[in-house]
Structure 1
Amino acid sequence: MQNHVFVVDQRRQRLDPIHPKRARRLLEKGKAAVLRMYPFTIILKQVITNPTVQSCQIKIDPGSKVTGFALVRGGEVIWGMELEHRGEQIKAKLLDRRSVRRNRRNRKTRYRKPRFLNRKRPEGWLPPSLEHRVKTIETWVIRLMRFAPTDQIIVERVKFDMQKMQNPDISKEEYQQGTLHGYEVREYLLEKWDRKCTYCGVKDVPLQIEHIHPKSKGGSNRVSNLCLACDKCNKKKGNKPVEDFLKNKPTLLAKIKAQAKKPLKDAAAVNATRDAIIKMVKFFDWFHEIKTGTGGQTKYNRTRLNLPKEHWIDAACVGDVDNLILLTKQPLKVRCTGHGTRQMCRTDKHGFPKRHVPRDKFVKGFQTGDIVKAVVTKGKKIGTYFGRVAVRKSGSFNISSKAGLIQGINYKYCNLIHRRDGYSYSF
């Protein structure tokens, strides 16, 4: 079962999303044309006067790496999407840029006065890697508002209590020197250890919180000393040190020790952006109602309805849910790729310039990253190719398709399917 198809008329009025089979019939009969490939939208070749539409809910499950989206209409999930962020890539690129700038300034302006204290950050400032999460969610909310009749948005608002994770015994006035209150350690451990037993890797069984270094031998309750184990492994390990329990599995032992020291950056990212996302959503006066839900409520709804653990299904379970009918099982998977780079001069590994970038991005109406369909009718490469194009000034393009890289396709054979927009799409 695929996502429903968005429909607009000639005046760009938003109509009810329809089943893919019905959209296919409209396209075959010539009553509609493709307006946009991602998300797939068709435009009718007529104007619908006084259309009767059923409003949908936009539901969002924000995450540090992947955010889930779902469109729910009358208890039916008609459209789903998983948006993969690129915060880590942004951070790495900024670090590279900083090192290149520092090297250049040391070479060119060695005696320049330090200027690291002459800038003031505005109120509510977020690092670019976190601001990116808010902006990409905003982009897709606007797209859904443009193509689907929506009047309500529900966002999961999670609270991660970092100090509770580090010190489970904290209480009352001790929070005056700490952070937020109300996060369950067990829910964090489920995310950290991928919802499976740490020792045997079994999934979909009841898991117990287990001390890596036994509490009876001085182990603490800090989250860095906690993991998840099935009943069998928990009883088998008992109060043995993890080094003795896994002495015949050195690879697994090293992996567990590395994972146990994993920082809380994912929880911190969700903490930092949750208020910014709510503030962004409230900026739109399009919605008649804006609601928030908790992570515990989302998990309760998903468990009660016996639904699998996926980001877009989590989004559908946000808020008050009586019953859900999944009319789709094939969500759109979107990965943030960015719009390239504004760096005009490429550098080698030492930071020295090695080549310059062409000023003109467009060649014969195409730019690198566009999705095209090339139908080659003559020559050595006869066939039909579908994929992303890499342009050349000569007009001979490369196309990256599922079959691999096809080089030397003339621009005259290429038909534009979807403009490059900073995302890659799959199902």
Structure 2
Amino acid sequence: MSNHIFVLDTNRKPLTPCKPGVARSLLKAGKASVFRRYPFTIILNKEVDANPEPLELKLDPGSKVTGIALKQGNHIIFAAELQHRGQQIKEALLSRRQLRRSRRNRKTRYRPARFLNRTRPEGWLAPSWQHRVDTLMTWVHRFRRLAPVGRITQELVRFDLQLMENPEISGVEYQQGELQGYEVREYLLEKWGRTCAYCGAQNVPLEVEHIQPRSKGGSDRVSNLTMACHSCNQAKGNGDIRDFLSSQPDVLSRLLRQVKSPLKDAAAVNSTRWALFNALKATGLPVTTGTGGQTKFNRLRLNLPKAHWLDTACVGPVESLEVLTSKPLLILAKGHGTRQMCGTNKYGFPNRHRSRRQIHKGFQTGDMVTALVTAGKKIGSYLGRVLCRASGSFDITTASVRVAGISHKYCQPIHRKDGYAYA
């Protein structure tokens, strides 16, 4: 059950995606050629006069991973997971700021202080957040060039389903209704990574735990709650957290530090959702929205496992659904390299030169290659992203390992650099 294959006619007009078997038959018969490897696309050698059925592009934006799915009728024919690099961008900007500040404090030169001389345009987002919007829009435009996308569905906000079911509900009935604590539990599961805060157990039933027991003045605020497995919850009881973790000071310090930290992922999604929605509207396609509660309800009703791409398939109103793929395309944003003119040491001083030449032996860092090594200590077949050197000795990063010292003579390009790695 693989993803369907994108099909273009000779004029690059997007047609209805076909099954992998049909694509193999067209390639063997010489009626089509490989146009793109990731996502796999074939191009026909003739013009086709057809009006393909419009597809629905579904998006589930996340702070770290965004799910993407293409729906034809009630069938999911293509799925992908796009992993963002917002945290890497934030760390790179932080490192640059620290180096510049250390140079200023070194008294090597004098520069007057600058105040109130920089303004931000309306709708400005931090670079790590703007990256999420720009990357996702890049793939929206890419899928529109490869498939006849007719509408877009985005998971936008999370509404209170209890209030939606009964708009007149209020007071104690609302506070103690069927969904009391639902949002709090989901928030805690995300904040603590769906693991026990005390022993780190995963894939076990978790219970809401009061860090400071209520019998000793603890409150029901989120800042006093965590997730614990049943055994740890019973072992702690109503004891003090410092006594319970007296033999694990590192766990205690991590827990107390994490309690004070907000849920960064939720903040990132909330800050970028409307910017993404407005960008999608600018495409001219009809855009519909769904809620997180609706997505979870659809997934549980359809008895589907928890996964980013399956959550995406359940975004919006879904009556019935048949998933025709089980192998989503994994897309990892890698960027296009650095623009530094020279490398620096940890103190900010330049210590190495960066060559302007990017292409070596016909390859460029970021190309997807296949290498069949027939001699030496690294005999075998490798498929992955290449790191080039002027010497011709390359490194190949596969899905599981990084192999160093592969000669360029064994490498064959299959997908040129576009800023992403695939699996």
Shift of 1:218: 1.1
C-alpha contact 1:197 1:203 (8 A) present in aligned 2: no
Identity of aligned residues (%): 56
1:111 aligned partner, one-letter code: Y
Equivalent residue for 1:86? 85
Given the alignment of the two structures, is residue 387 of structure 1 paired with residue 411 of structure 2, yes or no?
no
Shift of 1:391: 2.8
Q: Distance in 2 between matches of 1:224 and 1:160?
A: 22
Shift of 1:146: 1.0
Equivalent residue for 2:9? 9
Q: Distance in 2 between matches of 1:143 and 1:250?
A: 50
Shift of 1:302: 1.1
Equivalent residue for 2:368? 371
Query: Of residues 298, 301, 314 in structure 2, which corresponds to 1:301?
Result: 298
Equivalent residue for 1:167? none
Shift of 1:379: 8.7
Q: Taking structure 1 as the reference length, what is the TM-score of the superposition?
A: 0.85
1:315-394 equivalences in 2 (<5 Å): 315-374=312-371, 385-394=382-391
Equivalent residue for 1:75? 74
Change (3 A) 1:211 1:126: same
Query: Of residues 410, 419, 422 in structure 2, which corresponds to 1:422?
Result: 419
Equivalent residue for 1:39? 39
Q: Distance in 1 between matches of 2:19 and 2:53?
A: 15
1:194 aligned partner, one-letter code: G
Equivalent residue for 2:95? 96
Equivalent residue for 2:165? none
C-alpha contact 2:361 2:408 (8 A) present in aligned 1: no
Shift of 1:105: 4.2
Q: Distance in 1 between matches of 2:105 and 2:204?
A: 56
Structure 1: which 5+ residue stretches go unaligned? 162-170, 173-182
Change (3 A) 1:241 1:388: same
Change (3 A) 1:380 1:93: closer
Equivalent residue for 1:227? 226
Q: Distance in 1 between matches of 2:143 and 2:299?
A: 24
Shift of 1:311: 0.9
1:195 counterpart SS class? coil
Q: Distance in 2 between matches of 1:120 and 1:357?
A: 33
User: Pairwise CA RMSD of aligned residues?
Assistant: 3.0
Q: Taking structure 2 as the reference length, what is the TM-score of the superposition?
A: 0.85
Q: Distance in 1 between matches of 2:375 and 2:193?
A: 51
Once the two structures are overlaid, the 10-residue window that deviates more, 234-243 or 95-104, is 234-243
Q: Distance in 2 between matches of 1:147 and 1:204?
A: 42
Alignment size in residue pairs: 402
C-alpha contact 1:338 1:422 (8 A) present in aligned 2: yes
Shift of 1:96: 1.3
Equivalent residue for 2:174? none
Q: Distance in 1 between matches of 2:159 and 2:335?
A: 29
1:164-243 equivalences in 2 (<5 Å): 184-198=183-197, 201=201, 203=203, 205=205, 207-229=206-228, 234=233, 237-243=236-242
Q: Distance in 2 between matches of 1:204 and 1:57?
A: 36
Query: Of residues 402, 406, 409 in structure 1, which corresponds to 2:407?
Result: 409
Q: Distance in 1 between matches of 2:300 and 2:254?
A: 30
C-alpha contact 1:156 1:319 (8 A) present in aligned 2: yes
Q: Distance in 1 between matches of 2:291 and 2:390?
A: 52
Structure 2: which 5+ residue stretches go unaligned? 161-169, 172-181
C-alpha contact 1:386 1:399 (8 A) present in aligned 2: no
Q: Distance in 2 between matches of 1:234 and 1:375?
A: 54
1:157 counterpart SS class? strand
Query: Of residues 394, 399, 405 in structure 2, which corresponds to 1:398?
Result: 394
Shift of 1:278: 0.4
Equivalent residue for 1:168? none
